[in-house]
């Protein structure tokens, strides 16, 4: 175990500067832990190797390694370790742009940290959730999450997590157009960062407050904030900040008529951009600098910077354009010379020119007819191709419609049979039971018959419920799935967890039924084949879709057979009817993760 830890420490320290060299140490640590068959060591080594893979940009490998560590930590009851694994998986999914999976794992980490009463880590995870919603364009949800976190941290006094959340909230409010609120929150964040001595953050918030002040129409306050940001960057040696904040100061001075003073800031920022290679700031800066030079009458200087801007934007394009201009000039001079020669010889060879023109017309006519024929053939081919595509689309649509009709008919038949079993056969068995009860009082021999009738009634009700649970139609998807989990996984030695987020409103009935049936089939497969000891089910609703994640720690499945078998094909067919997609993540001995994503109709999403 000690050697595994030492190899992991080497990989960690080396990975910060050279992750490629660190990779063999992390790989050796994991192999050694596997040979030792020590689950704790395997989880630690997998976690360390995942960090190195993430630094190398191997995001899928990082997700798989962290999933492996997560499964081991769940089995060992290591709640804090499981939360850390959830958080790392969410970070990798965020970089992969799989935002719904990132949200699910962040919410799982937040729930554990809330149970463990760790407010600092909980705040960090919720900040990540808010940032995710911000990336997804759901600024209202981002504001809600970040504001809630800040409110919970405030009673603990000044802290880095609280200041960070306030800085993030300031940006979200500014993006939402809540300028006055953004100003108040930004001031609060600035005070906290100053008290904590976080100079980089102090400069960044001052710059943000400068932008907010300018949007409020207060250029005086805006330039004051920009100057503070620049002074802080100069004091701590932040060259990127000096270039950016200096450019902002110069722009305000230029726009408010203090052009001479603006030129001094433009000069310093431009020098930094040239020497440090800050291309984005360089191009942004040159636009304002050129305007300032034109205002002062320094047209030569403006022209030099304009040339520099053109070269910076597209050197290749500039060279090609100059070459094209030169070719056009040569062509023009040649044509002019030819015209002059033709004019001088026009009277001597007029007849020959007429003949040449007639020949030219014939050639042009022939070429035109050839081109017309080619165009006609091309149009015909395109029309045929479009016709074939239209026929293919119609065939696919008819197949999809037929599949949808079959599934809907099957569900309707299930509902009808369930109703007849419950209301017909069930009622008859109930009546039979009551009659036997009346006779059993005088004849004790009928006791066994009464028990058999009672058991038959329960069996009929259970069959009817499995075919079409009444809770799905009456109470909705979440209660129906909770009831199904309680009944299906009431098996000794199997631990189950069910979480749901954003499911307060009902979904369309066909969506609820489809998701329920898919979840039911996935659970049946786990019970029959997985040999699992833990099953986690998550149901998450975003602004555009519903996501179902069913994960077990069983024996896993063969990735090449994820679409084979009648049961799996039925699962994929049901997902396709819902316009959704069902994916399986598998690994040898690591269990199975099934992820269903179903887009919501526009009215349901609203």
pLDDT in tens, 340-388: 545 656 665 677 777 888 888 888 888 888 898 889 888 888 888 888 8
Q: Cβ distance 555 to 530 under 8 Å?
A: yes
Extract the tokens encoding 470: 């009444």
DSSP of 336-383, one letter per residue? HHHHHHHHHHTTTSHHHHHHHHHHHHHHHHHHHHHHHHHHHHHHHHHH
Is pLDDT larger for residue 397 or for residue 5? 5
Residues 6+ positions from 340 with CB-CB distance below 8 Å: none
Task: Say what angle helices 477-488 and 509-525 make with each other, to 10 degrees.
Answer: 20
Residue 551's beta-bridge partner residues? 536, 593
| Per-residue confidence (pLDDT) for residue 326, from 0 to 100 | 42
Q: Single out the residue of 150, 108, 211 nearest to residue 500, CA to CA.
A: 108
Mean pLDDT of 50-60: 87
Write out pLDDT tens, residues 132-166. 998 888 999 999 999 988 888 888 888 888 898 89
How many angstroms separate the CA atoms of 407 and 577, rounded?
9
Q: How would you class 54 by CB atoms within 10 Å of its CB: exposed for 0-12, middle for 13-18, buried for 19 or more?
A: buried
The highest-confidence range among 66-80, 448-462, 469-483, by mean pLDDT, is 66-80
| Predicted confidence band of residue 471 (pLDDT cuts 50, 70, 90) | low
- Could you tell me which residue, 468 or 205, shows the higher pLDDT? 205
Instruction: Let me know the angle formed at the C-alpha of 170 by 241 and 228, rounded to the nearest 5 degrees.
Output: 35
pLDDT digits (tens, 9 = 90+) for 522-574: 988 888 888 888 999 999 998 889 999 999 988 887 655 555 566 788 888 88
Give whole-number Cα distances, 273 to 210, 249, 280, 574, in Å: 22, 15, 9, 56
Question: If you average pLDDT over residues 412-439, what whole number do you get?
Answer: 65
Confidence at residue 428, expressed as pLDDT on a 0 to 100 scale: 65
- Higher model confidence: residue 355 or residue 468? 355
Beta-sheet pairing, 495-501 with 534-541: parallel
**Distance separating alpha carbons of residues 349 and 410, to the nearest angstrom:** 90
Q: Are 162 and 156 in contact (CB under 8 A)?
A: yes
Stretch 312-337: mean pLDDT: 48
pLDDT score recorded for residue 181: 94
Sign for the CA dihedral angle at 209, 215, 217, 222 comes to: positive
Residue of higher predicted confidence among 559 and 171: 171
CA gap 189, 201 in Å, rounded: 9
Place of tokens 């987020």: 501
Q: State residue 588's pLDDT score.
A: 47
Q: CA-to-CA distance for 246 and 223, rounded, in angstroms?
A: 10
Q: What is the mean pLDDT of residues 173-200?
A: 93
User: Is 80 exceeded by the pLDDT of residue 456?
Assistant: no
| Residue 595 scores a pLDDT above 80 | yes
Q: What b/e string do you get for 123-156 counting C-beta neighbours within 10 Å, with b at 16 or more?
A: bbbbbbbbbbbbebebbebbbebbbebbebbeee
Residue pLDDT, tens place only, 80-90: 999 999 999 99
Mean pLDDT over the full length of the chain: 82
Cα–Cα distance measured from residue 595 to residue 518, given in angstroms and rounded to the nearest whole number:
11
pLDDT of residue 18: 82
Average pLDDT over every residue of 256-271? 92
476-605: CATH topology: Heat Shock Protein 90 (3.30.565)
Give me the percent of the chain exceeding a pLDDT of 70. Answer: 80
Q: How confident is the model at residue 436 (pLDDT cuts 50, 70, 90)?
A: confident
165: nearest Cα among 130, 116, 214, 213:
130
Say yes or no to pLDDT of 230 above 90.
yes
Predicted confidence at residue 423, as pLDDT, reads 60
Q: Give me the pLDDT at residue 555, please.
A: 85
Q: Among candidates 46, 124, 138, which has minimal Cα distance to 91?
A: 124
* Cβ contacts of 331-339, under 8 Å, gap ≥ 24: none
Highest mean pLDDT among 64-68, 425-429, 483-487: 64-68
As to burial, measured by CB atoms within 10 angstroms (0-12 exposed, 13-18 middle, 19+ buried), residue 540 is buried
Pick the closest to residue 293 from 283, 306, 282 (CA basis). Answer: 306
Residue 120 in this model has a pLDDT that exceeds 70 = yes
Assess whether pLDDT exceeds 60 at residue 333. no
Q: Where are the domains of the chain?
A: 476-605
pLDDT-derived band at 268 (thresholds 50, 70, 90) equals: very high
Q: Among 115-119, 311-315, 344-348, which stretch is predicted with the lowest mean pLDDT?
A: 344-348
Q: What is the mean pLDDT of residues 489-513?
A: 87
Whether pLDDT at 327 is above 70: no
| pLDDT of the residue at 111 | 93
Of 315-324, 515-524, 544-553, the least confident? 315-324
Which pLDDT score is estimated for 466?
60
Q: Which of 140, 86, 134, 77 is nearest to 110 (CA)?
A: 86
Rounded Cα–Cα distance for residues 209 and 171 (Å) = 10
* Residue 226 confidence class, pLDDT cut points 50, 70, 90: very high
pLDDT at 316: 31
Between CA 179 and CA 167 the distance in angstroms is 14
Given this model, what pLDDT does residue 565 score? 61
Least confident of 88-102, 448-462, 531-545: 448-462
Cα–Cα distance list, 170 to 52, 203, 205, 220, 240 (Å): 33, 14, 9, 20, 22
């Amino acid at each position: 175990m000690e050697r595994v830890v030492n190899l992991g420490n080497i990989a960690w320290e080396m990975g910060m500067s050279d992750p490629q060299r660190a990779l063999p140490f992390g790989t050796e640590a994991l192999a050694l832990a596997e040979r030792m068959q020590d689950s704790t060591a395997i989880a630690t080594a997998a976690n360390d190797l995942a960090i190195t893979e993430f630094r190398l940009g191997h995001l899928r490998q990082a997700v798989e390694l962290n999933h492996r560590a997560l499964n081991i930590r769940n089995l060992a009851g290591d709640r804090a370790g499981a939360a850390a694994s959830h958080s790392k998986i969410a970070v990798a999914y965020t970089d992969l742009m799989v935002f719904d999976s990132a949200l699910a794992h962040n919410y799982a980490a937040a729930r554990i940290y809330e149970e463990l009463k760790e407010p600092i880590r909980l705040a960090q995870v919720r900040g990540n959730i808010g940032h995710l919603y911000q990336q997804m364009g759901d600024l209202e949800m981002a504001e809600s999450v970040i504001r809630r976190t800040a409110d919970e941290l405030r009673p603990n006094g000044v802290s880095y997590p609280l200041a960070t959340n306030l800085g993030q909230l300031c940006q979200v409010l500014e993006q939402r157009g809540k300028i006055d609120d953004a100003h108040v929150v930004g001031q609060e964040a600035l005070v906290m960062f100053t008290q904590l001595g976080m100079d980089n953050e102090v400069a960044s918030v001052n710059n943000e407050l400068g932008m907010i002040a300018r949007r409020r129409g207060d250029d005086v306050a805006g330039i004051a904030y920009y100057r503070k940001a620049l002074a802080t960057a100069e004091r701590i040696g932040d060259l990127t900040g000096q270039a950016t904040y200096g450019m902002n100061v110069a722009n305000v001075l230029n726009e408010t008529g203090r052009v001479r003073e603006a030129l001094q800031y433009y000069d310093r920022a431009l020098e930094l951009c040239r020497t440090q290679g800050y291309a984005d700031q360089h191009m942004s800066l040159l636009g304002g600098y050129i305007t300032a030079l034109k205002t002062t009458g320094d047209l030569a200087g403006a022209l030099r910077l304009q040339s520099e801007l053109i070269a910076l934007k597209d050197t290749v394009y500039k060279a090609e354009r100059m070459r094209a201009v030169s070719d056009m000039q040569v062509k023009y001079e040649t044509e002019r010379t030819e015209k002059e020669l033709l004019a001088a010889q026009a009277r001597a060879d007029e007849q020959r020119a007429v003949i040449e023109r007639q020949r030219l017309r014939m050639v042009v006519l022939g070429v035109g007819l050839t081109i017309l024929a080619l165009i006609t053939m091309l149009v015909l081919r395109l029309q045929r191709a479009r016709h074939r595509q239209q026929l293919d689309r119609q065939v696919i649509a008819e197949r999809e419609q037929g599949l949808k009709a079959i599934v809907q008919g099957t569900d309707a038949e299930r509902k009808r049979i369930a109703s007849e079993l419950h209301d017909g056969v069930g009622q008859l068995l109930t009546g039979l039971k009551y009659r036997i009860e009346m006779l059993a009082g005088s004849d004790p021999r009928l006791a066994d018959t009464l028990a058999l009738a009672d058991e038959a009634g329960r069996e009929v009700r259970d069959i009817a419920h499995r075919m079409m649970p009444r809770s799905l139609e009456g109470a909705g998807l979440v209660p129906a799935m909770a009831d199904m989990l309680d009944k299906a996984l009431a098996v000794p030695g199997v631990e189950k967890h069910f979480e749901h987020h954003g499911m307060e409103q009902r979904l369309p009935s066909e969506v609820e039924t489809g998701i329920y049936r898919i979840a039911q089939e996935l659970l049946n497969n786990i019970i029959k084949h997985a040999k699992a000891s833990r099953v986690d089910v998550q149901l998450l609703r975003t602004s555009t879709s519903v996501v179902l994640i069913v994960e077990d720690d069983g024996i896993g499945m063969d990735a090449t057979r994820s679409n084979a078998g009648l049961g799996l094909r039925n699962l994929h067919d049901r997902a396709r009817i819902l316009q959704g997609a069902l994916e399986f993540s598998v690994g040898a001995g690591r269990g199975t993760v099934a992820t269903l994503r179903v887009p919501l109709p526009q009215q349901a999403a609203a």
